[in-house]
Amino acid sequence: MKEPFKNCDKSAGRLEYLFALHRDLRGEIRDRIAQRDRFAVQFLVAVCAVVSISIMGFKYAPFFAAFIPVVAIFYFVQISYSYVVHNGISEFLRNHVEPEIARLVDVPAQTRHGMFWETRWEFLRKIRGDFPVGIRQRFFEAAMFVSPFIFLFLFLALVLDSEHRYPSALVYPYAIFVFAAFACAAFWIKRGFPDGRVRASFAPRQKFDSGDPIELCNKYKFSDRAVFIDRDGTLIVDKIQPKNPSEIEFFPDTFESLREIQSKGYRLIIATNQDGIRQGKLTEDEFFKFNARLRETLAGEGIYLDAIYYSPYESKDGHFSFKPNPGMLFQAAEDFRLDMRNSYMIGDRPSDYMAALRAGARPLLVGTGTYSAEEKIRLDEFARRQGLRICSGLREAASLIPPARQD
């Protein structure tokens, strides 16, 4: 006989677990804040110690001033990594834990900002504008860049005012080398934390209004499997970083292929590298408008894209979201709770194939991209080494995807 309150027991147990998880994660955030306070104190003590040694009377004391930029950069990295962990926890609480607790206790979405701190913080950011990073992070950023100048000023002041005689061939090359080395290091390290803030997510996702008709259609999809599709060269003809919606040109088999994939029970998700944004060849706004037209055209054919993930970086950046890295696929798996072992990635480049493998998805390669003679040779060589067949197009790739399991 079926137990009438079995599901209630499960919900109560899950709720208890989520409350405990929420409490632990909030405690971890408090620990991170306390950790940064300790780092701030340690930084000031270390700088004072270095300055004290530099002004001592022994002959080579001024040369110890070189440790000022070392200390500043070391503590900036520690502080920045602490923010990475903090922001990652906040994002997990805000997007997963708190919404699930609210669902279980039946709290309406419009009132959640009055009950949950992370949700409230995001609500305040939206109504007041994008809050700047904390004053302490700003302080450490400034200290990292100012420290080489402090070293240079202190070192030269102490050397020139010293009773000891230092050879010019030692003093000035030493000062220039230390200054240049740490100035370059500061810029290189700062490059890993763009826009003056720490980003915790793997990859950006184009946002659409929750009341959008296409989003409403997607809201009631429950599939845990997806087919990831590269945009240019796979879904549409690759016209090399197009930005005008009038440039959209679908392959003859695109609509039929996507309808087949959708009918088999898979989510449809675009994952596209867009290094033209980083290179200044198109803006994010132009990219969004292009995708909006693409999405509306597909919807007119009864095809509903679940999401569009993009990587606005270049290969040389080494960003985790830029294919062949799997960041976009991992982010989608997190957002939609996907079974990656039974999901697919269709693309026209070896980078699409490798991103799928690294994310645990099943890759399919098509030969419909726009290739130079050298790129075509590399593609054929890649396929030969991997022992795989290049599909003639999206239609053939779709035929190789089996129906999703129906539970």
- 230 is known as an active-site residue: yes
The closest of 51, 59, 56 to 171, measured between CA atoms, is: 59
State how far the Cα of 227 lies from the Cα of 359, in Å rounded to an integer: 13
Catalytic residue among 224, 230, 238, 348: 230
Structure tokens at 265: 């029970």
Q: What are phi and psi of 3, to 5 degrees?
A: -80, 120
Q: Which of 9, 195, 232, 348 is catalytic?
A: 232
Other residues' Cβ atoms within 10 Å of the Cβ of residue 172:
13
Q: Which residues contact 95 (CB under 8 A, 6 or more apart)?
A: none
Which is nearest to 243 in space by CA: 282, 277, 205, 206? 282
Separation of alpha carbons 321 and 171, rounded Å: 45
Query: Distance between CA 326 and CA 330 in Å, rounded?
Result: 6
Report which of 165, 181, 171, 231 is spatially closest to residue 68, judged by C-alpha positions. Answer: 181
- Cα 270 to Cα 258: distance, rounded to the nearest angstrom: 12
Buried b (16+ CB within 10 A) or exposed e, 348-363: bbbbbbbbbebbbbbb
Q: Is 232 a catalytic residue?
A: yes
Any idea which residues carry the catalytic annotation? 230, 232
